[in-house]
Chain A
Amino acid sequence: MSTEQRPSPELEPYDGRWVAVRDGAVVAHAADEASLRADPAVREGDLVFPVGDPPSGFYLVNV
């Protein structure tokens, strides 16, 4: 079996930041959502999300 990489972006460098992802690659990043969306590199249809621990702590999904 080959060791081909999955087609997902490496997000570790963006821990704590917002990123915009297009076609599996990070196309822009910023400290907050508003700044990121104002970036002309971000297009409609890009996936925009924060990276890092969630703001309320990880909610325990009950077993």
Chain B
Amino acid sequence: MANRKADVAIVGVGWVGGIIAAELTKAGLDVVGLERGHDRGVKNWIDDHDELRYAIRYELFQNSANETWTLRHHMGENALPIRQLGSFLPGTGLGGAGVHWNGQTWRFHPRDFTMYTSTVDRYGASAIPEGMSIQDWGITYDELEPYYDKFEYMAGIAGKAGNLKGQIRPGGNPFEGPRSREFPLEAPPPTEITGLFVDAAKELGYHPFPGPTANLPKAYKNPDGIERGPCTYCGFCERFGCEVGAKADPIVTVIPVALKTGKFKIIDYASAFAIRNDGKMGRSVLYYDGMGRVQEQPADVIVLGAYVFNNVRILLVSKLGKPYDPVTNTGVVGKNYCYQTGGGGASGWFTGRRFKRYMGSGANSYVIDEWNADNFDHSGLGFIGGGSISCGQSGARPIQSLSVPPGTPSFGRDWKVAIRQYYNSAISIGFQGESPAYRYHFLDLDPNYRDRFGQPLVRITFDWEPNERAMVAFAGQKTLELMKAIGPDHIAGGPGSLPAHYDTVPYQSTHNTGGAIMGADPGTSVVNSWLQMWDAPNVFVVGACNFPQNAGFNPTGTVGALAYRAAEGILAYHKKGGILA
């Protein structure tokens, strides 16, 4: 027997699910959240700095023994299952990946939303490499700005506006789009480490600015009345839940707002796998409960707010929306899978200088944006795109933060001596590059491998392409130039590079995007600018799966903005129905 019908059923209770639940329940709707994990919160993480448990053994992440993905680099290859987590770390449990993130809260550039048009306008269509399938988002930065603002004030983001209502302001990012108002909180000052980066960047003529952070530098009360205390700079953000609630996550911000209304019900251990539908409307969500039994949650409106892969898989399993076929270049579900491009960083080690690297917070960084997006002239470079360059102090945990200069033995006495010498003397500069879409990078259902419930795994077809390889080589020269200006005694860096093939083993980024992309044309996108499915108007699909391609910044700020916009769209749809204009 099916559960009682809800106004809205949401799959996944992370940032997307939490934001939408809060907005809809405040407006009086009854909402059910289907969470495949379980309840948890700050109480679970107090004094729990267990790096083995959380960072090495992946306590907060999807269990790849239960559900994973298969990967192939191109269509001629047999896809194989990713048996262990590595390259990316999707979360599971209440709050989703919003619990273990670092708190870097960016807005994408205005050009990012019009990447195809902007590139053609500036360089001509021939600048877009063959096979690259970038497209515009169907929404502009200006249209999304109010929702960015809403997310930042809800989460309590600290930063410095570089563009306030069109006026460029010193100390902020001069390349960002116009903000309607300042950040809710002032950015923390540079640390000794990030201060070296700031000085070097200025010396080279750049405009360094504080990275927008969701790690509260001081106590904050948000517009919903939620109060949180300041960060203790313990350095256990990434891969950990925040033990004091200073890092904005859904559990300490939006979920309690929804629960307080009495209109939000969360069903734990509910692994959604399909939307029952008639091809035109979604009727209910089918899920496995904690005992592995199929259950059904009917609703007037269905929201897919899970991780990229899960949203796409549910659409494909449900046969909702036309699956993408790269050969005929038709269909949309699974199209434009993208990632994040690293590989252009530089590292340095001082012999006579010691920092307090063990202190920090996940988004405690200073950044330059000169080499990101289209902020520089690409004429003659042979590639398009770029990325942000940053220097952070996010803490230095005792296992994964041991950093030694090149040439140091990887074990034994000399290694131990070097660890002792350099643990507190290292500095790194990172490059986080764009990942453009390609016709042959996509998601579909694997024909051979299934999860513990017998549902097909998502198959990823992806590899690094020459455009990004050239971009990374270029970026590595810039980070090396910065590191030389900082002047440590040992430096590792130079033209950045990527392996011969994308490798799922080393951790790189959990910024997987695409597969249910947004746009203005039903023929090339899954959802419209309200994240409403073209093919089923009562189904909303929300998250980084909506990105037509990925930008050179962390995605969460944009995911949050899209969630607020979707909530507004759902309310409008609930009142009058139809495809929203």
Question: What residues of chain A have their CB less than 8 Å away from a CB belonging to chain B?
Answer: 1-9, 11-12, 14-15, 21, 23-24, 33, 45-63
Q: How far is the CB of A7 from the nearest CB of chain B, in Å?
A: 5
**Contact partner of B466 among A9, A58, A61, CB < 8 A?**
A9
Asked whether, in the complex, the Cβ of A45 is within 8 Å of the Cβ of B239, the reply is no
The 9 tightest CB contacts between A and B, nearest first, are A59-B345, A61-B509, A50-B497, A6-B440, A63-B510, A49-B473, A56-B492, A49-B469, A62-B102
Q: Which of B363, B492, B497 contacts A49 (CB 8 A)?
A: B497
B94 to chain A, nearest CB (A): 17
Q: What residue of chain A has the Cβ atom nearest to residue B88's Cβ? A: A63
CA distance A55 to B347 in the complex (A): 9
Task: Determine if B343 and A62 form an interchain contact, defined as CB atoms under 8 angstroms apart.
Answer: no
Q: Bound state CA distance, A55 and B394, in angstroms?
A: 22
What are the interface flags for B494-533 relative to A under an 8 Å C-beta threshold, 1 for contact and 0 otherwise? 1111111100001111110000000000000000000000
- Give Cα A32–Cα B42 distance, bound, in whole angstroms: 51
Picked from B75, B340, B362, B470, the residue with its CB within 8 Å of the CB of A3 is B75
Who on chain B is nearest to A60 by CB? B507
Residues of chain A within 8 A of B501, CB atoms compared = 11-12
Interface residues of B in 474-496 (CB under 8 A from A): 476, 492-496
> In the bound complex, how far is the Cα of B511 from the Cα of A50, in angstroms?
24
Choice from A1, A52, A54, A59 contacting B500 with Cβ under 8 Å = A52
Cβ of B345 and Cβ of A52 under 8 Å apart?
Answer: no
Bitwise, B341-366 to A at CB < 8 A (1) or not (0) is 01111110000000000000011000
Nearest chain B CB to A35 CB, angstrom units: 14
Chain B, range 33-84, C-beta contacts under 8 Å to A: 74-76
**B104 at interface by CB-CB < 8 Å:** yes
Give every chain B residue within 8 A of A47 (Cβ-Cβ): 382-383, 466-467, 469-470
Contact residue among B97, B130, B363, B499 (Cβ-Cβ distance under 8 Å from A24): B130
A-B contact pairs, 27 of them (CB 8 A): A1-B75, A1-B325, A4-B327, A6-B131, A6-B438, A8-B74, A8-B463, A8-B466, A15-B499, A15-B500, A45-B382, A47-B382, A47-B470, A50-B473, A54-B345, A55-B496, A57-B345, A57-B347, A59-B428, A59-B430, A59-B431, A60-B342, A60-B507, A61-B342, A61-B509, A62-B392, A63-B101
CA distance A18 to B2 in the complex (A): 60
Interface residues of B (CB under 8 A from A): 74-76, 89, 97, 100-102, 104, 130-131, 238-239, 325-327, 340, 342-347, 362-363, 382-383, 392, 394, 428, 430-432, 438, 440, 463, 465-467, 469-470, 472-473, 476, 492-501, 506-511, 554
Residue numbers in A under 8 Å from B362 (CB-CB): 62
Taking the closest CB of chain B, its distance from the CB of A23, in whole angstroms, is: 8
What is the bound-complex CA distance between A47 and B129, given in angstroms?
11
Complex contact A62–B497 (CB within 8 A): no
Once A2-B75, A50-B497 are accepted as A-B contacts, the answer to whether A58 and B344 lie under 8 Å apart by CB is: no
Q: Pick from B74, B499, B509: contact of A51, CB below 8 A.
A: B499
Known pairs A1-B325, A60-B507, A62-B394. 16 more at Cβ < 8 A?
A4-B75, A5-B74, A6-B75, A7-B131, A45-B382, A49-B472, A49-B495, A53-B497, A54-B342, A54-B343, A54-B496, A54-B497, A56-B428, A61-B511, A62-B104, A63-B97
For the complex, give the distance between the alpha carbons of A50 and B494 in Å.
10
Q: Do A58 and B342 form a contact, CB below 8 Å, given A48-B470, A63-B239?
A: yes
| Residue contact A63 to B238, C-beta cutoff 8 Å | yes
Cβ-defined contact, A49 with B74, below 8 A: no
Contacts of B473 in A (CB 8 A): 48-50
Instruction: Compute how far the CA of A7 lies from the CA of B129 in the bound complex, rounded to whole angstroms.
Output: 11
Q: From A23, A33, A54, name the one whose CB has the most chain B CB atoms within 10 angstroms.
A: A54
A6–B337 Cα distance when bound, in Å, is: 15
- Do A7 and B130 have beta carbons less than 8 Å apart? yes
Whether A63 pairs with B470 at a CB distance below 8 angstroms is: no
Q: Is the CB of B554 within 8 A of A55?
A: no
Whether A58 and B343, one on each chain, are in contact in the complex, defined by CB atoms closer than 8 angstroms, is yes
Partner of B497, one of A2, A8, A51, A61: A51
By beta carbon, the residue of chain B nearest A54 is B343
Given A59-B342, A61-B432: A1 in contact with B327 (beta carbons within 8 A):
yes
